Structure 1
Amino acid sequence: MAGVGGGGVGGVILDECVLFGGTNVNLQPDAHFLLHKLRHSNVPTGISYGAGLEAHKVSILKEIAVQYSIHCFLLDESASSIDDAIREVMLAWPNTGGRILYIVSNNKEYMFPKLSKCGWLITLLNVEGSTASTCESSSMVYINKLRELPLTICQINRKAFGNSVVTVGYIMKPSREEDFAKRGAFPMYPTQDGLMFVPLTFDLPLAPQLQEVDVVLHKATDEIISINLDGSLPSSPSITYSRGMQELQRYMEHHLDLCVIDPLSSIYPVVDRLKIQQILLGLEDLKTAGCCAIRGPNFLKVDDFNQSDLVQSLSEAKLALPSIVKPQVACGVADAHSMAIVFRVEDFKDLTVPLPAIIQEYVDHSSTLYKFYVLGEKVYHAVKSSTPNADGLKKLSGSTELKPLVFDSLKSLPTAKGNMSSGDGNSSKATIDLELVTSAANWLMRNLELTIFGFDVVIEEGTGDHVIVDVNYLPSFKEVPNEVAIPAFWGAIKKKFELKGRNK
């Protein structure tokens, strides 16, 4: 772990009095919130307790220390105990050159002078008369809630490192944040290329948090409540976000100099499968004589599966059966991934896929799917098992009547058996044309104006056409190794910030 010099935060110690919140026998909810944020923050974290603490509480603290992989220190009021604790902290965290933040309540003020002399920054929680904003003196900081601590760490580090640090505030659902954070993507201590991350929370006033950041990274689709794709509306869908996301949206609209990854207007196409299909029609511009084509699948939008001219419409759209049917809404709502593969025209009438829907060409692709990830200028891919060819699908239907295969694409797919492999451009099957797909990735980046996105490619048997069957915003890119993906992730954010600065 890199040392934290120059007055930055070298470590965080949470005293038991703020974790239990007085006489409580269990940790207060904000304690778990904070420990989750600190666990993968690249800031050493510990908890402390006095010798007189009840045995059952000591046991809880030690269990918590194991759960979050953090240190547990005995820190008592006697001078010798304080000296021992300081030595123990230095041994546990030998490479931290910055200040130790000791989060405590004022009922342990007898320890403050000695700890302050050792360079510890006393952070008082719930001090009567203190304001919600963080106020720093030479050796004291005041906060009202544990949830404020990540922002406090950010403020201290910004003061220590100055303009050499780009602060990225991020907001996404907890499970997604955990996936990114455990890969080391969100350090609160500056990375080598000068990025520092701070979690934003809708549980605190948003404007003071945003005033501390240079970049906002969000997964807006996590905050969608409803989407209206009424054809009578303008080209952008009518999206209702959560109250917190609406507040963030208003802030971004009034602070156009803030770097946002990515603007909500750039997110709209990936919410609407029809819009994406229409955009993919432009891939025709990349077609070169003598080379295989890269394209989107043939498609048809339907508002009613019982429409009288459905057979004619399918023929005009160059659609044969089987076809895959997907809701037009691509993400952000509960049934956006409810899909079906249909073998017979008469089975459309009883289909449960939400309307409006997109009927999409089903491409025979040898059960192989190529997942591509675009992180700024870097393009990576993974090779995965996929659904069988049409003949194999008919066997999976389990009936001579070829009933539709209905599934949720996030939970289970009618997949064929096969080995999964991954690559960064060097380990792929010979059939994939990486140069062609990279050209398409750059074309999509320009047309979608997205910084970090993913798309899925299948290769059509016989023609060799590379068909882009899905596009999504801010994917987890979990198939790409951490040592490759995370620096590319940081690099994409840094470059977007620098381009925003040059274009002001």
Structure 2
Amino acid sequence: MGMDGDSGGGLVNGILLDASLLFASDHNNQNLSSASASASASLLPAADSLLRKLRYSKIRTGIFYEPELSAIKVCLLEEMTRLKLFDSLIAVASSIENVVSEVALTWGENIASHTLVVSGQEELCLKLRNSGWMTAILRSPGHGPANDIEFPTGSETSSSILINKLEELPLTVCHLNKKAESKENILVVGYIMKPSREEDFAKRGAFPLYPTQDGLIFLPLNYELPIPAQLQQVDILLHKATDEIVDVEMSTASEFVNTIEYTKGMQELQRYIEHHLDCCVIDPFPNICPVLDRLKIQQILFGLENLCLKSCYKIRGPRFLKVESFKEPNLQDRLFEAKLSLPNIVKPQVACGVAVAHSMAIVFKMEDYKDLNVPLPAVVQEYVDHSSCLFKFYVLGEKVYYAIKKSTPNAATLMSLSEEGDLKPILFDSLKSLPIDKKNQQLEDGVNNAGNHQIDLELVTDAANWLRNVLNLTIFGFDVVIQEATGDHVVVDLNYLPSFKEVPDDVAVPAFWEAIKWRFRLWKGVEKA
């Protein structure tokens, strides 16, 4: 992508897209009903992805079209407008020169002057450019370099930004917005995660392309574009590497070893990071490895018991045992030695990244281990009676938040739920549904009690700070239950870069941004952990 030295005189807070750039091949049927028309016209995959990213980017997005656009496509655009997939649909009544007046009428003069118009029509872009507008020309396939992205200072013949693919538009906006501000005051956060997770964050306003008040711009990285060229624009890399795992093989040893296979795109990203140390990574890949291994997590949690001195309660991990085979003849003796009494909860040793990581079981009888359908190697944990109350804690940099959720009932209730009392193992996927007591849906004692014990927030906050230092992670979450009989605070799960969706957006999003800047300051050495 090329741009001249004078392009982009101000912040981009509006984007106007030429509708002709968004669609796949034309359809011949012009007289279909509204529903049929929407089904017949289809957006290019790159266009659909782009509109989704822009929808929550804090940048207004509009689409303009000319009279030649087919009725089928106009119908689809109108339906997308009703669904609020973009802000405005602008019909150019007589000629392309009406774009300026139509945008000013729809959005107002002020935002129009900060709107980037994207079109494949060089003549249109040149006219708008001469009127003081920011313009970008999407070059036709085969025109210009396809495998490189550059930001030269030389002049382009059209004096407009030239882009080769629609996927380059967020990178273009990011470059213009950083250029319009003082470079020292703006940090570009390049992020990569699966689309569904990206949208969960983005729709809360967490990933704006427009600078935040504290100077962050969020750039969605795209494997369809050269990774090195994108990362050259990035100050901070935020990734959810666990979304990019193809396979994880657990070692038979007690320590986690490098048996993680990532997607090709993530492997390329890793290689770049290894050879370019001028980018702050949140978080380094080795730091994430322990979170993939439930056995390693359990071993780390041993250290929590040293934090219990100031509290009347103890905070700890659950008692556990690693199992290579459910048919081993001395399994009952090993469970006894590990102080594990029935019922037990059985989890795969691999904690995330593969489909079977969340296939679990609650076992009530020893004989049911023999044919248990849980992936091996597995970790057997004590089942903690906790009055169906789970505390979800989120660590965002130096700040800690929590929420309360309904959880599995006590063992006695579970036994009555187990296939009408025959005590068969309860198999479940922890990401989809938990075995719960549907007759008692309300949390006991209101806001922050579990049984007869109240949660000790100071104790858990100390644990959160300790875990942050031991794991050296910026954003992570863990679950705590309070043992009904003893009041022990038991950490039963730990995960990397959770969505923290239970924390209100107006609290969580600023804390998320501050956590990123906090890690960057640590990386730069201007702040101590």
Query: TM-score if structure 1 supplies the norm length?
Result: 0.93
Partner of 1:118: 131
What is the letter of the counterpart of residue 456 of structure 1? D
Partner of 2:249: 228
| 2:42 paired with 1:26 | yes
Distance 1:134 1:401, change over 3 A: same
| 2:166 paired with 1:146 | yes
With 32-41 and 117-126 compared, the bigger mean Cα shift is at: 117-126
Counterparts of 2:352 and 2:71, CA distance in 1: 49
Instruction: Tell me if structure 2 keeps the 8 A contact 1:8–1:98.
Output: no
| 2:196 paired with 1:201 | no
With 13-22 and 468-477 compared, the bigger mean Cα shift is at: 13-22
Distance 1:289 1:22, change over 3 A: closer
- Can you list the C-alpha shifts for 1:13-48, whole angstroms capped at 9, x where unaligned? 110221126746532221111111111001110000
Partner of residue 466 from structure 1, selected from 483, 489, 495: 489
1:378 positional shift: 1.0
Q: How does 1:90-489 map to 2 (within 5 A)?
A: 90-91=107-108, 96=111, 99-106=114-121, 109-127=122-140, 129-132=143-146, 133-135=149-151, 137=155, 139-161=159-181, 162-232=183-253, 235-288=256-309, 291-416=312-437, 417-419=440-442, 428-429=448-449, 431-489=454-512
Partner of 2:467: helix, strand, or coil?
helix
With 251-260 and 178-187 compared, the bigger mean Cα shift is at: 251-260
Partner of 2:34: none
Counting aligned pairs with the same residue, the percent is 56
Counterparts of 2:379 and 2:526, CA distance in 1: 38
With 21-30 and 42-51 compared, the bigger mean Cα shift is at: 21-30
Counterparts of 1:454 and 1:495, CA distance in 2: 18
Report the count of equivalent residues: 492
What is the letter of the counterpart of residue 118 of structure 1? S
Runs of 5+ in structure 1 lacking a partner? none
What is the letter of the counterpart of residue 148 of structure 1? E
Distance 1:235 1:86, change over 3 A: closer
Partner of 1:456: helix, strand, or coil?
strand
Counterparts of 1:397 and 1:444, CA distance in 2: 36
Counterparts of 1:61 and 1:223, CA distance in 2: 33
1:134 positional shift: 4.9
1:272 positional shift: 0.2
Runs of 5+ in structure 2 lacking a partner? 1-7, 28-40
Partner of 2:518: 495
Distance 1:300 1:148, change over 3 A: same
Partner of 1:13: 16
1:110 positional shift: 3.7
What is the letter of the counterpart of residue 159 of structure 1? K
1:390 positional shift: 0.8
Counterparts of 1:206 and 1:269, CA distance in 2: 27
Partner of 1:288: helix, strand, or coil?
helix
| 2:79 paired with 1:63 | yes
Partner of 1:87: 104
What is the letter of the counterpart of residue 174 of structure 2? C
Counterparts of 2:462 and 2:376, CA distance in 1: 34
Counterparts of 1:66 and 1:238, CA distance in 2: 48
Instruction: Tell me if structure 1 keeps the 8 A contact 2:390–2:405.
Output: yes
Counterparts of 2:235 and 2:93, CA distance in 1: 40
Distance 1:6 1:141, change over 3 A: closer
Partner of residue 70 from structure 2, selected from 54, 61, 65: 54
Partner of 2:4: none
Counterparts of 1:150 and 1:83, CA distance in 2: 23
Instruction: Tell me if structure 2 keeps the 8 A contact 1:135–1:141.
Output: no
